[in-house]
Chains A and B, each alone.
Chain A
């Protein structure tokens, strides 16, 4: 871990790591739900931007979860 990794990426990866015991699809839903519930909109947008930009070292569950966040934003 370094301080230069964007906070949103570090935090989202950490949430994903803590959901590793759950099947990936369900983990992505839980991650998206958690982020919807606790993160400020600009942080969610920033995470989606990082995923869209295919930032390095993003947890696969974060990538899946960001897709759900993106859909949720469009609703």
Chain B
């Protein structure tokens, strides 16, 4: 494909059923009422010259290039700010307009460096294009007068430069930062000739509030804001449409290349998830794919203390197959298994679970989604009948009240957060349920109506109290409940009990009863109220209960089955939804069908030609336990760093050390690879070919931007291992794998590469009943028929604070980093986050003699680490927070084995800890507490203890 440039209609679409017809340069065109003259002209195929207008931004009317003449009207109005009216006759090209436009362009050019031939934007500059479009042939004004040509560039941002000498003060960057991103970091400082773009209060871009989403760079019509990669490598010449491999938003991008070299990633306007927007990770942080740390050759070693030995693929695959079979011969068929990855494609995940079930002959396959969203799968299946979110992302634009529970979208799902913030600026009300004061609580033009700052681990008590208010104050949608649900009376009786009242739970949750009552009334009374949630819901001992609690609340208020409502998980990794859909849980085939279902199993047995087990296999934490007890001895880890990401790393390390064979497939020699006997090089998302499924169930194509650097696709490697183990698996291409998935998976029945090329993307279920996919689920009835209310009793976590460990640690993610940081630490994003820090309240710091920036110890009953303290008013007293992006910190050395009662999803959000000043000579280090002393260990040099 050559370089793809999407059409720009100049101003945004104005959807509506009422239309008006106008004539533009003799051509008739009918458009929705409210459409600008500029857009109508573009629809008719006529490009009106423009500089300050672009269809991702509201019209501004400042550049005066888009002037038109309209019959019966005086003057020359700007076509971008003039709406069409019925019968309007417009002329876009007249001698008068030509003269005016040339005059305007002369003024622009008179203060613009004439270095087009050497400019990085040469060939991709709208100013250059417009000079041609208006027929500019002379500039009568010289450079003698005052100008901006000597303005100093700002090169502080790792990814783009700001060259004010090239700025035409069109404000597109400022408007993009506000309207699209919603950060409002940019402004026009000064007036008249002194007007200039400024980041925050005249700071450098790096030091400013800019979040480097790239919207300003995208909007800039000149080279004023330009990717460094374009400056360095030159303008790209071809595009490949693909999907980001960071968070669960699943943004579509144009990978723009020059030859075979990737120059930049540009958000794709037709991407269903992102519609032309991006964040700092997807837009810029792709350098890890070509980082020198990548390992491109397979490696083997007999023992984990031996040095690695590079081998050819054949030897590596044969080693895996031989040693896996040898383990099974000695210890039984159930002694090996695999972990699939939410970073890999649906097709790769599918073949991994197929290898386990058909070639390994057991169900010991689990996905890394175990440690993030397994409670979502359980809870939504129990209540709604489908283990997935109910809406598409666009739906938030119809919400009147948005309840964000245990999620921090501006950091973890920034592109969706921008959609949400836009709706909030339009007037939707916001309820935040979170122990931390996340940015959404109060940020430019946004303020939460209610911040229910609950104590960690009390989610279920809070949701039950909200439901208590709904039930006892007569706020239930009786019609919806009667028509579409079951189990209501039992549930309503339960939540109406006095012990679930806000007043009764306040001492437990810390949420003032009157605040909670107000929030409940706001949610229940809204025409459309939507719940969005994240790992602050799922990663608890009652994660599954809380998911069901939210589903109960949504059903009670009739907030299911249309746009603007719903229960919506914000998935952590790019393909969490897909990896779960693809049958990589140990108890389920694709589409969440239990292995004990004879009819379902028969479908797979017939297609795969193997008898399959009807018993569930081991989940990830169970694999670790079984490894330590000696019954599980061989593990294939596909694209996941369990030795950094999973809780209680002492336990994980002991399990990995106990195994006879650990196979790691990854881009880098990660922490888990330290325990591996075979390393298989993986393919970055730029090399993959297949599909990802994002948090809104949208199946997106992932297209190879470049060939696999290791020489093999990951699905090929898995197939070759299975084949070497005596179960032949082969496909010509990943499209065949998707075809097989469609054959055995009712919700994917209508999905193929061809269909995705036609539609761009599609949300499952996509089948005969829904050939265009299903943006909103449970419209007329729930997947399970009736929506099921489930009683959700609050059970306090076993992970309690004590005098020895009096604080609660909660962990999470920040904007610039991703998961264990394997990717983002190898990019320029380290400019914003070079190390994990511990956020704590000033009171907790003062009590321990800690000042900002001090090196402190963080200790729990299972481990201890050191990191820098950051005093933060985001934290309530008694709660501390850190990220787990850096292995040197090893935050998960501290987290414990406590997990969700239904799914074993670890309780990352609640660990009892102590914090104290580290010894002056102590450096960053993490260490596990030996199991024998874990129950009695202290917290090191802690004020009041030592």
Contact = CB atoms under 8 A, between A and B. Distances in A.
Given A3-B651, A17-B795, A34-B902, A40 B931 contact: no
B934 A3 contact: yes
Interface in A11-48: 11, 14-15, 17-18, 20-22, 34, 37-43
Nearest to A18: B901
Interface string B585-607: 01100000010100000000000
A14 B586 contact: no
B616 A39 contact: yes
B587 A37 contact: yes
A53 interface: no
A28 to B, nearest CB: 15
Contacts of B154: none
B934 A2 contact: yes
Interface string B617-657: 11101100110000100000000000000001001000000
B795 A42 contact: no
Given A15-B901, A18-B795, A37-B594, A4 B616 contact: no
B793 A37 contact: no
Contact of A21 (B586, B618, B793, B902): B793
A14 B901 contact: yes
A75 B872 CA distance: 59
B54 to A, nearest CB: 52
Contact of A40 (B541, B617, B651, B793): B617
B442 to A, nearest CB: 36
Nearest to B862: A3
B contact residues, range: 35 or more
Given A4-B935, A18-B542, A40 B901 contact: no
A8 B79 CA distance: 70
A1 B898 contact: yes
Contacts of A20: 793, 795
B935 A2 contact: yes
Nearest to A15: B901
Nearest to B497: A21
B529 to A, nearest CB: 27
A40 B622 contact: yes
Contacts of B671: none
B618 A40 contact: yes
Contact of A18 (B545, B622, B899, B934): B545
B655 to A, nearest CB: 12
Interface in B317-352: 334
Contacts of A18: 542, 545, 793, 795, 901-902
Interface of B (DSSP majority class): loop
Given A3-B931, A18-B542, A42 B793 contact: no
Contacts of B798: 1, 14
B447 interface: no
Given A40-B616, A41-B615, A7 B542 contact: no
A8 B798 CA distance: 15
B541 A14 contact: yes
B877 to A, nearest CB: 25
B86 to A, nearest CB: 63
Nearest to B936: A2
Contacts of A39: 616, 622
Given A14-B798, A38-B587, A3 B901 contact: no
Nearest to A8: B625
B904 interface: yes
B759 to A, nearest CB: 36
Contacts of A10: 897
B352 to A, nearest CB: 18
B897 A7 contact: yes
Interface in A41-72: 41-43
Interface in B777-799: 791, 793, 795, 798-799
A2 B651 CA distance: 13
Interface string B569-595: 000000000000000001100000010
Nearest to B615: A41
B795 A43 contact: no
A73 B627 CA distance: 24
A48 to B, nearest CB: 15
Given A2-B934, A2-B935, A43 B622 contact: yes
B494 interface: yes
Given A14-B541, A21-B494, A7 B931 contact: no
Contacts of B899: 11
Contacts of A15: 901-902
Nearest to B362: A40
Given A3-B862, A40-B616, 19 more contacts: A1-B799, A2-B934, A3-B931, A3-B934, A3-B935, A4-B935, A11-B904, A14-B541, A18-B542, A18-B793, A18-B901, A20-B793, A21-B791, A38-B619, A39-B616, A40-B363, A40-B617, A40-B622, A42-B334
A-B CB proximity, top 9 nearest: A21-B793, A1-B798, A14-B901, A40-B618, A18-B901, A7-B625, A2-B935, A17-B795, A41-B615
Interface of A: 1-4, 7, 10-11, 14-15, 17-18, 20-22, 34, 37-43
Interface of B: 334, 363-364, 494, 541-542, 545, 586-587, 594, 596, 615-619, 621-622, 625-626, 631, 648, 651, 791, 793, 795, 798-799, 861-862, 896-899, 901-904, 931, 934-935
27 contacts: A1-B799, A1-B898, A3-B651, A3-B861, A3-B862, A3-B934, A4-B931, A7-B625, A11-B901, A15-B901, A18-B542, A18-B901, A18-B902, A20-B793, A34-B902, A37-B587, A37-B596, A38-B616, A40-B334, A40-B363, A40-B586, A40-B616, A40-B617, A40-B626, A41-B615, A42-B334, A43-B622
